[in-house]
A and B are shown apart, each in its own frame.
Chain A
Amino acid sequence: MAAPKFNDQIHSPVRLRICSTLAAVDAIDFTALRAGLDVTDSVLSKHLARLEAVGFVSITKKTAPGHLRTWVSLTPVGRQVLAGHLAALREIAAQSGM
């Protein structure tokens, strides 16, 4: 269990959903991720770039027959930070006594 630690980078609604989705898989195709989150290409690219810049996700491009495919995965650091952030959110949510 990760120690609770709030993270501003992950807390953005889209980025939290991205990281949560990535936490469930080893790697996911950009198109599948976009479809799952129901966001546009540009929005997803922007948030992924931000997460990649802080080292929470890794983006690899591999050639598939006829086109380039982008794979996105959560780094070990990102996985740890996400776990800590979710633990922090649970603590905050528990403060209301519900």
Chain B
Amino acid sequence: MPINPTPEEARSSLEAAAQAQAGLRQSTSPPRLQLALASAGAGIVVASRGIPDPLAWLRWVIIAIVVIALLALILANPSKRAVKRGLKHEARDLRYSVAALIAPVVFVMGVLVALELIASSAAQGAPWWAFGIGGLAVAAVFYPLGRWNWRILGKPRDPEV
């Protein structure tokens, strides 16, 4: 017997479908704070390379602060849920957190490494084809890492249901 939903039923079905996707995004998207911290951390580390030699220790302080903050975020995030869900789920949550954290870092670092390679190669008068080889080398390293992250997180697709 064919199903003939009423407009109200159709509307509630659409809402349920949208909520299912929203719930997935909420559980798999990298937390904004982590993403912001990771990006800022990568930026600070790179920027700190311009610090003059007498203040070189400052670079390590900045790196230490960023690393400690990121580790604290990784460890704090799953432990709240772990109490409710049990230890079995903690591993999955931890994996999600690590993947959520690594994804933006991998992306930012990949871009920075590529830019730095291009800048240094250009400064040394590298031929044009060297940029292509450099780009491929960077992609060969960072693409699998990115895929690994998205595989765990669930790669986002069409934003519309």
**Chain B interface mostly:** helix
B residues neighboring A (CB under 8 Å): 2-3, 5-8, 10-11, 13-14, 16-21, 23-25, 27-28, 89, 92, 150-151, 154-158, 161
- Complex Cα spacing A6 to B42, Å: 49
Q: Which residue of A lies closest to B155 (CB)?
A: A26
* Inter-subunit contact A11/B161 (CB<8 Å): no
B154's partner among A20, A32, A37, A90 (CB-CB below 8 A) is A32
A98 at the interface (CB under 8 A from B): yes
| Contacting residues, chain B, for A31 (C-beta < 8 A) | 92
- Complex Cα spacing A95 to B18, Å: 20
A interface bracket (residues with beta carbon within 8 Å of B): 20 to 34
A residues neighboring B (CB under 8 Å): 6, 8, 11, 13, 16-21, 23-28, 31-32, 35-37, 86, 89-90, 92-96, 98
| Contacting residues, chain B, for A96 (C-beta < 8 A) | 7-8, 11
